[in-house]
Amino acid sequence: MSSTPTFDSKVVAKRLAGYFFQYKMALVLAMLALIVYAGVDASLIYYSQELVDRGITGNDTSFLKIGAFFVIGVFLVRGVASFISTYLLAWVGNNVIMTMRQQLFRKMLSLPVSYFDKNSSGSLISKITFDTEQVSRATNQVIIVLIREGATIAYLLGIMFYYSWQLSLIFFLVGPLIGIVISVVSKRFRRISKNIQGAMGKVTTSSEQMLKAHKVILAFSGQDKETVRFDKVNNVNRQQSMKLVAASASSTPIIQLIGSLAIAGVLYGLSLDGMIESLSAGAFVALVTAMGSLMRPLKQISKVNVELQRGLTACASVFDLLDKNDAINDGKLEIERSRGSLTIKNLNFSYQHAEKQALSNINLDIEAGSTVALVGRSGSGKSTLASLLTRFYESPEGAIQLDNRPINDIDVDSLRKQFALVTQQVVLFDDSIYNNILYGAINEVSAEQVEAAAKAANVTEFTESLPDGLQSPVGEDGANLSGGQRQRIAIARAILRNAPMLILDEATSALDTESERLIQNALENLQQDRTSIIVAHRLSTIESADLIVVMDQGQIIERGTHQELIKKQGAYYQLHAMQQSQG
């Protein structure tokens, strides 16, 4: 996936703030706790003046006794303030990240299929996991540091002005210099952070491919190849991370050096005639301690800038996806149950950025209740045509009609409810067999109906021998089942859907001979009184089709019944003869 486009950090920050404003009360309480925390630290420095002048120099032992209890009370308040601020900010941050992840998840479900053709699943997963985690880290750290350390600086400067406003003015001379340094390094932080996100997406993609293709890798001895591939993307991620560390490590000492110049200026000012005499010993200690204590919050603020820029870059990446256009659904027509007749007129279709058309001048009438088979070599356009019927891709206006109504005028969800889909690549969820079949239901169904669908697809033929029957888990992506068993579950899902139209996209290609025999009758029963579009590889399974359409290079080159096409001795005849010779 391409890196996040250049963005306006102020616009992104303002949009992110909108997520946090939903939890105003918790944020206000957390900020108050942080201000109290910073005030407690500053009060100890302020108290040092009295401690020196009254307790030590003045030999006031009663003040020292009171001071013992004061210190305990101060640290008790400090601890409570720390807990409240940390807990509340974590609560707010986690709620914001949960909201973002839910929005990303819903957004991905509403994006057009073409978007997923162009973007790797690993990169998209990285947005839900890695990018949102960067936002979480940034928001918690940035709020804590900016509020707490900002208040600490304000308190310390207040103490310094209280004892010597003349010397304290020196710190305002270095403020613009620190601002310039932070502005320069912030741009570099954002640029590197974008590179890190891209690199992390590639790490996720490479890992995902390894896990999905684990058996293939082992079978073809590809361990070394995959290790080299992963090492490469992993090293790029390391290099980008080290660039971020280098930028952060160099900016912090520069800011501290600028701050030290201010402290040096104050110390030099104390050496001037009349300056030191105006301060008591305790006031001098408090002033110098406050000056020295300024270095820590300055350092923390400079360091948190790294997290801030990473968080803003991650936010921009998340918002970029959330702002993508949803799949087109401009149809207003709702359909309860269609008759199932399809008309395709002068259909041309090209995938985005493709040099040649995937479909060219397709004209086809499919009568309600008929069975139409699409056959041809791989890449001839069969599956593309089937995908256009359910609007996985958008067809030209009016090119495809359902019951004489353009499918573009029909609400997408309503249109897809008219179809039951069984593909070669069966997708099963990590759940029970029962729930995977139930996934096909449009309306509420009974357990008896689910069991009847399972029986019709011969799923019960193998679940009867399982300890938990239909409640047995299928495993991740159906890992606990054979290819034929997975395919039968998919067919049971389609049977339960009870849609007026059926698309079988090479649905029996993954079955062995025994499994095919078990479900062939179920498929024939399923096709009764339904419009069936069968994308077939095995020609023996579609010989009884009402119409066989032969496709090649995106065009229809032949059409007719099995007997008609055999007599014609054209492309279909050659395909049939070749499969017959292969046994």
Q: What is the average per-residue pLDDT within 137-144?
A: 80
pLDDT cut 70: percent of the chain above it: 79
Cα 30 to its chain centre, rounded Å, is 29
Supply the pLDDT for residue 279.
64
Supply the pLDDT for residue 4.
47
Query: What is the residue-wise DSSP string for 315-360?
Result: HHHHHHHHTSPPPP----B--SS----EEEEEEEE--TT-SS-SEE
Supply the pLDDT for residue 71.
78
Here the tokens at position 97 are 């990240």
For 50-62, what is each residue's pLDDT tens digit?
666 665 666 666 7
Here the tokens at position 528 are 């009764």
Give the closest residue to 20 by CA, choosing from 97, 134, 133: 97
Which contiguous run of DSSP H or E holds residue 419? strand 419-423
For 251-293, what is each residue's pLDDT tens digit?
667 766 766 776 677 667 666 665 666 666 667 777 777 776 7
Q: Token match 């970029």: residue?
A: 320
430 in Cβ contact with 484 (< 8 Å): no
Supply the pLDDT for residue 527.
74
Here the tokens at position 507 are 């649905």
Cα 415 to its chain centre, rounded Å, is 28
Supply the pLDDT for residue 475.
86
Who's near 33: CB < 8 A, 6+ residues apart?
A: 80, 81, 82, 84, 85, 88
375: phi then psi, degrees, rounded to nearest 5: -130, 165
**Residues making up the chain, counted from first to last:** 583
Considering the entire predicted model, what is its pTM? 0.74
Q: Which residues pair with 420 in a beta bridge?
A: 502
Here the tokens at position 25 are 């009360």
Give the integer Cα–Cα distance in Å for 495 and 462: 18
Confidence class for position 501, pLDDT limits 50, 70, 90: very high
Supply the pLDDT for residue 434.
93
- Is the confidence at residue 509, as pLDDT, over 90? no
In this structure, of 138-142, 346-350, 396-400, the range with the lowest mean pLDDT score is 138-142
In this structure, of 135-139, 182-186, 389-393, the range with the lowest mean pLDDT score is 182-186
- Is the confidence at residue 521, as pLDDT, over 70? no
Please name the amino acid found at residue 398: G
Which has the higher per-residue pLDDT, 309 or 513?
309
Q: Token match 């210190």: residue?
A: 71
Most confident of 110-124, 171-185, 190-204, 370-384: 370-384
In this structure, of 96-100, 101-105, 138-142, 285-289, the range with the lowest mean pLDDT score is 285-289
Q: What is the average per-residue pLDDT within 525-553?
A: 85
C-alpha triplet 399, 400, 402: angle, nearest 5° = 145
303 in Cβ contact with 248 (< 8 Å): yes
**SS3 of 552, please?**
strand
Give the integer Cα–Cα distance in Å for 249 and 247: 6
> Where are any strands of DSSP class E within 477-554?
501-505, 531-535, 547-552
Question: How many other CB atoms are found less than 10 A from the CB of residue 543?
Answer: 14
CA atoms within 13 A of residue 77's CA, in its CB half-sphere: 19
Supply the pLDDT for residue 57.
66
Supply the pLDDT for residue 160.
77
Please name the amino acid found at residue 82: S
- Is the confidence at residue 415, as pLDDT, over 60? yes
Here the tokens at position 381 are 């356009």
Confidence class for position 353, pLDDT limits 50, 70, 90: confident
- Is the confidence at residue 103, as pLDDT, over 90? yes
CA atoms within 13 A of residue 322's CA, in its CB half-sphere: 20
261 in Cβ contact with 175 (< 8 Å): no
- Is the confidence at residue 359, as pLDDT, over 90? yes
Q: What does each C-alpha distance from 509 to 362, 506, 537, 553 come to in angstroms?
A: 26, 5, 7, 22
C-alpha triplet 142, 144, 150: angle, nearest 5° = 90
Look up residue 559 and give its DSSP letter. Answer: E
Question: How many other CB atoms are found less than 10 A from the CB of residue 278?
Answer: 12
Give the closest residue to 202 by CA, choosing from 109, 114, 130, 310: 130
For 28-50, what is each residue's pLDDT tens digit?
999 999 999 888 888 877 777 66
For 295-351, what is each residue's pLDDT tens digit?
778 777 767 777 777 788 888 889 999 999 888 888 889 998 999 999 999 999 998
- Is the confidence at residue 2, as pLDDT, over 60? no
Confidence class for position 133, pLDDT limits 50, 70, 90: confident
Supply the pLDDT for residue 345.
94
Supply the pLDDT for residue 567.
92
- Is the confidence at residue 518, as pLDDT, over 70? no
Here the tokens at position 125 are 């997963």
Here the tokens at position 375 are 């056959």
* β pairing state of 501-505 and 342-349: unpaired
Which has the higher per-residue pLDDT, 179 or 446?
446
Which has the higher per-residue pLDDT, 9 or 534?
534
Q: Which residues pair with 366 in a beta bridge?
A: 342
- Is the confidence at residue 453, as pLDDT, over 50? yes
Mean pLDDT of the residues in the chain: 81
**SS3 of 153, please?**
helix
Supply the pLDDT for residue 1.
42
Give the integer Cα–Cα distance in Å for 462 and 454: 10
Confidence class for position 403, pLDDT limits 50, 70, 90: very high
For 153-203, what is each residue's pLDDT tens digit?
888 888 877 777 766 666 666 667 666 766 666 666 667 766 776 777 777
- Is the confidence at residue 583, as pLDDT, over 60? no
- Ordered structural domains, the chain, with CATH: 9-322 (1.20.1560.10)
Supply the pLDDT for residue 189.
65
Give the integer Cα–Cα distance in Å for 266 and 171: 8
**CA distance from start to end of the chain:** 45
Supply the pLDDT for residue 556.
93
Here the tokens at position 281 are 């010993």
142 in Cβ contact with 27 (< 8 Å): no
Supply the pLDDT for residue 510.
53
Give the integer Cα–Cα distance in Å for 547 and 572: 12
